[in-house]
Structure 1
Amino acid sequence: MIVDCSNPDNRDEAIKEASDVVRAGRIVVLPTDTVYGVGADAFDEVAVAMVLAAKHRDREMPPPVLVPSPRTVDGLATAVPMYAKILMRQFWPGPLTLVLRAQASLAWDLGETNGTVALRMPDDDIALALLSEVGPMAVTSANVTGRPAATTAAQAQEQLAGAVTTYLDGGPRTGGAASTIVDCTGEEPVVLRHGALPADRLREVLGETRLLDEPASPEEPAEDTSSTEPAEDTSSTEPAETQESHAAQVADPESPGEPLPGVLPVVSARLVGSVRPTSVRVPDAALRDLPPSR
């Protein structure tokens, strides 16, 4: 069912209806900064599985998690570096997805995340209103994997049909660039996917903290990242619109590139979702497996 929330006079009632649906363990479609996303309560593992099923996606591409406020991050992530807090303060709400170490004690199951979670605070009044009511949501682009991301509620309904209980219609979305995804699990931030937020803007606020995002220079040898283990294949056959979340990932619900199509296994570490690697020169210290959840 499509519920109109483009008119502020109807918005509160529409948000309440969608909130009731999420709390009942079902899934909704909601507008975000760029495209429409499909999501559910991040702590309801059955509902999250329903989101992945609606997308025709497996657990190898977990959705990112949208949050209503930077304060929510403290309950979802651990060992958050100061540079990540700076990025949140400067660019949230907005098109920036941060991959962080997930709290090991959380009772959730987003898929194969290897102990990380991709988080983002969207710059959309309707999305933020819903998130404020129900808390963190696992959200990815509102489309079947391999098809264009929906920029209207009607387009989302055409693809997802009865898999979704409620479609919040906030009017057409722009379908702009996907969010920029940054790995914040190491001593230095690493851009996993270039997106709507340019790396130069990130550098402006990071000060002396080095941002790793440039391909290795042809004349410079790349740092030795050799290992006794075979290298993981980070190639993907997914179309651009599923290269994002949860992230994340990141597939943010965001765009044909991120639609919250989350984050992906980067170099030798599996993160959240599926993004295209950036050929970043990553130091040895950044390549590591996170400890298993206790």
Structure 2
Amino acid sequence: MLMYCIMTRLIKVDAVNPDMALIRIAADVILKGGLVAFPTETVYGLGASTYNDDAIRRIYAVKNRPMDNPSIVHISSFNQLYEVAEDIPSELEERLKVAWPGPLTVILRKSSRISEVASCGLSTVAVRMPAHPVALALIRESTPISAPSANISGKPSPTRAEHVIKDLWGKIDLIIDGGETFFGVESTIIDYTKKPPVLYRPGPFTVEELRRIFGEIKVPEQALGLGQFKEALAPGMKYRHYAPDKPLIVTECSSLDGLVKLTLDLASDEVKRGKRVVVLCSSETCSTYVKAGFKVIEAGSRGNLYTVAKNLFHSLRLIDSMDVDLAVAEGYPEVGIGLAIMNRLRKASGYSMVKCTT
């Protein structure tokens, strides 16, 4: 295993109006082949110049990320889109102008400028234009940036600088602290080289919104978090992701009353087996589990699933900080961003799900 012990620098910027002098310091690190963790509207990314193969290899080493798991190329303009991709359908730019900047990644044919290392040997490239002032400024001051999430591979993605510090301090050159990210789950990914386009990873840009812009979208069962794709054409398609160290079980039921009963019964059964249990629950249901004697982590409101998404990865990280043996997490409706939440929870559990029988 490669060991790293370098001086990591931390700089703090305002998420909306970042100090450009500090952004230029980070951009200089990128241009000189260094690694910078930076906030986006989804999660923190670990970035390197898309055109520096050695720097990209270092991302994979410090994350312990499989070399066949591609990163996303982050751009700041449509000019850069044509720099990193080719054979772009004529209608796509107008459609992307509706979605970008934003939490949508599109898979396209890669240009000749994208190396085998940057593309993991694929003929395609995953591209997005982030909707975060810090990320856009960093790209504008440097170059298109290849970036997976700024965490140890397989663990919950970082939504706060403290998460990045815990995972990568002493392994990367610089961390930009821009506060908590806006959405809290990674970008939606569609493959536009397929007809119709295929959803590979649900995210803040919902299927309902995708269909209004792009028309028909194919949603395979793997995108629901019901198994893995055989090949990693984009992040999140293969390998276990988002997982705490401690076991996680997800409960699923069509009715809220049934879900609470299922979760209580399952948690109680685990206690009878001598396990210490924490329940990952919504603000509407947590009091029920507290009254039953369980520790809880409140994820957010069912009335606004964006709050659950925003808190999800921090909640999964909290599990490992608690004196418990396992966690039981409530499921959520698979509508809107709820689909992204369930994709992450199912993957985080290693597909350990318990469903209502009625």
Using the size of structure 1 for normalisation, the TM-score is: 0.70
Q: Which residue of 1 aligns with 2:104?
A: 96
Q: Within 2, Cα distance between the matches of 1:202 and 1:6?
A: 31
Cα drift, residue 154 of structure 1: 2.7
- The structure that is helix-richer by fraction is 2
Question: What is aligned with 2:74?
Answer: 66
**Paired residues, number:** 228
* Alpha carbons 1:5, 1:14 under 8 Å: kept: yes
The structural deviation recorded for 1:7 is 7.5
Q: How far is 1:186 from its partner? A: 3.0
Aligned to 1:179: 187
Which of 153, 164, 169 pairs up with 1:156?
164
Alpha carbons of 1:190 and 1:156: their partners in 2 closer, same or farther (altered >3 Å)? same
Structure 1: gaps of 5 or more residues: 216-230, 243-254, 257-275, 277-294
The 1:114/1:203 distance shift into structure 2, 3 A limit, reads: same
| Kept after mapping to 1: 8 A contact 2:156/2:242 | no
When you count strand as a share of all residues, which structure comes out higher?
2
From 234, 238, 241, the equivalent of 1:239 is 241
Whole-angstrom distance in 2 between the partners of 1:146 and 1:214: 22
CA distance in 1, matches of 2:189, 2:123: 17
Percent same amino acid among aligned pairs?
29
Q: Kindly state the Cα deviation for residue 153 of structure 1 after the two structures are TM-superposed.
A: 1.8
Aligned counterparts of 1:200 and 1:82: Cα–Cα separation in 2: 23
Rg comparison, structure with higher value: 2
Deviation, structure 1 residue 107: 4.6
Among 3, 24, 27, the residue aligned to 2:32: 24
Letter in 2 for 1:238: R
Q: Which letter maps to 2:218?
A: L
Match of 1:169 in 2: 177
- Supply the RMSD in Å over aligned alpha carbons: 2.6
Seen in structure 2, the aligned counterparts of structure 1 residues 109 and 183 have a Cα distance that, compared at 3 Å, is same
**Residue 103 of structure 1: CA displacement?**
1.0
Offset at residue 52 of structure 1 (A): 1.1
1:4 matched to 2:9? The reply is no
1:212 aligns to 2:214 (yes or no): no
Once the two structures are TM-superposed, the CA of residue 126 in structure 1 deviates from its matched residue by 0.5
* Deviation by residue 1:179-236 (Cα, 9 ceiling, x = unmatched): 1111011343221222211222122223xx5322366xxxxxxxxxxxxxxx957884
Unaligned stretches of 5+ in structure 2? 1-8, 222-228, 245-311, 314-342, 344-358
Q: Which has the higher contact order (CA 8 A, sep 6+)?
A: 1
